[in-house]
Amino acid sequence: MHAAAVTTSVGTIEIASVALAEPGPEDAVLGVEAVGICGTDLHIFDGSYATRLPLVQGHEVSGLVERLPASYDGPLAVGDRVAVEPVTSCGTCVACRRGRRNTCCAMDAVGVHRPGGLQQRLVVPVRNLHPAHDLPPDVTALCETLSIGLRAVTRPAVTAADSVVVLGAGPVGLAAVIAARDVGAEVMVADLHPARLALARDLGAAHGVQGVDDLQERVEEWTAGDGASVVVEATGAARVAEQAFEVVAMAGRISMVGVSEQRMSLPVKAIQAKELDVLGSRATLDFPGAVALAARHRDDVRRLVSHRFPLAEARAAVELALHHPQGVVKALIEVC
């Protein structure tokens, strides 16, 4: 038996003693070190993301390998630190057959559909484990967040020649800043909160714009009238997302990674006249690339962690992130 933070019902997390799940023939056992709290965790907690409860949440996981499958002959060894890629795919659906397993029609995710990392020990498919080498636990846990930002930047094929506007300086938007700067692109960030804009600038953004009221003017000034060659929309807010189509350049690309149920209102001409590439973006196809990105920018990734809590205070961590989003960039649960 070991300690776990269990979401027993909407709005309730309890610390309980749970038994370790029986590992399958392709499963590893981890000792969990640290878990990041994600927006999906908040939506499960408040009931806006439907999944089966009770559930041990947590899909941004750093752990130490305690046990490997008997038949395993890969690079991992007992004692290695690993980052957990939370999503598994079926391999046979239309998305998987097209090489887009990150959009699998039957995807299954640690901490969302199966027990996650908010517990001292975790059973997870060994194929979902990626060596973290000498990364510390907090940076390793955030490799999953970084993978989402990386996908938002690789999806529109950002290069050093691009001027990139990132809408939203939450964890994913800030991860996109790190990924865009990593390839040498110039970046402008828009967000409502001055502290988050300051953090974006610390991570390498050349400019920060508070709100979107004068965003188009600021972008035109920054790009000598061209508009941004790439816009990464990381808020999910319809009004903000609509601005992406205003500030993007002719023949530009828009990467839509923000999540919400809101609906946008756009004239058809907004896409047709500029001949835009509008790209949806979600879980990464290159988790090892995200781990490598974290290794190159470990100090920047660590700066995303604004609050730390022990496992016993998991409910307080989730409630703080849910009710005070302007003050919490990334809450981290230090399990052991």
Contact 13, 7 (CB under 8 A): yes
Mean pLDDT (the chain) is 96
Relative to beta strand 60-67, strand 81-84 is: antiparallel
The reply to whether 194 and 119 lie within a common domain is no
pLDDT of res. 283: 86
Please choose, from the candidates 50, 194, 65, 184, the residue with its C-alpha nearest in 3D space to the C-alpha of residue 123.
65
| Judgement on whether residues 93 and 117 belong to the same structural domain of the protein | yes
Range of the structural domain that residue 105 is part of: 2-142+304-334
pLDDT at residue 336, rounded to an integer? 87
pLDDT digits (tens, 9 = 90+) for 267-278: 889 899 999 999
Bond preceding residue 171 cis, omega within 30 of 0: no
Q: With b meaning 16 or more CB within 10 Å and e meaning fewer, what string describes 61-79?
A: bbbbbebbbeebeeebeee
pLDDT band at 141 (very low <50, low <70, confident <90, very high): very high
What is the share, in percent, of the chain residues with pLDDT greater than 70? Answer: 100
Check whether 79 has a pLDDT greater than 90: yes
pLDDT digits (tens, 9 = 90+) for 168-218: 999 999 999 999 999 999 999 999 999 999 999 999 999 999 999 999 999
In this structure, are 71 and 17 located in the same domain? yes
Calpha distance 210→91 (Å, rounded): 43
Query: Cβ–Cβ contacts within 10 Å for residue 91, how many?
Result: 10
Structure tokens at 312: 């016993």
Which letter, b or e, does each residue of 327-336 get, where b requires 16 or more Cβ atoms within 10 Å of its Cβ?
A: ebbbbbbbbe
Is 322's pLDDT higher than 90?
A: yes
pTM here is 0.96
Taking residues 257-262, report their average pLDDT. Answer: 93
CB 282 within 8 A of CB 257: yes
- Based on its alpha-carbon atoms, the radius of gyration of the chain, rounded to whole angstroms, reads 20
179 found inside a domain = yes
**Eight-class DSSP state of 312:** G
CATH number at residue 201: 3.40.50.720
| 9 shares its domain with 133 | yes
- Tell me how many domains the chain contains: 2
Residues 207, 164, 175, 46, CA torsion sign = positive
- Number of Cβ within 10 Å of residue 94's Cβ equals 10
Please give the backbone phi and psi of residue 280, each rounded to the nearest 5 degrees, phi first: -75, 150
User: Could you tell me if residue 27 is inside a domain?
Assistant: yes
Backbone CA torsion sign across 260, 89, 87, 187: negative
Give a yes or no: residue 293 inside a domain: no
**Alpha-carbon gap, residue 143 to 83, rounded angstroms:** 7
Instruction: Give 10-33 pLDDT, tens digit per residue.
Output: 999 999 999 999 999 999 999 999
**CATH code, domain with 40:** 3.90.180.10
Give 283-320 pLDDT, tens digit per residue.
888 999 999 999 999 999 999 999 999 999 999 999 99
Distance in angstroms (rounded) separating the CA atoms of residues 62 and 182 = 23
Residues 234 and 324 in one domain: no
pLDDT, residue 9, reads 97
Query: Do 69 and 126 contact (CB within 8 A), yes or no?
Result: yes
Do 135 and 153 lie in a common domain? no
Query: 288 lies in a domain?
Result: no
What is the CA 323 to chain-centroid distance, rounded? 19
- Compute the C-alpha angle 249/198/300, nearest 5°: 90
Same domain? For 72 and 41 the reply is yes
Quick one: 96 and 165 in the same domain?
Answer: no
- The confidence score (pLDDT) of residue 326 equals 87
Residue 315 is assigned to a structural domain of this protein? yes
Same-domain pairing of 213 and 274: yes
Same domain as 313, residue 276: no
What are the phi and psi torsion angles at 311 (to 5°)? -55, -35
Are both 330 and 270 inside the same structural domain?
no
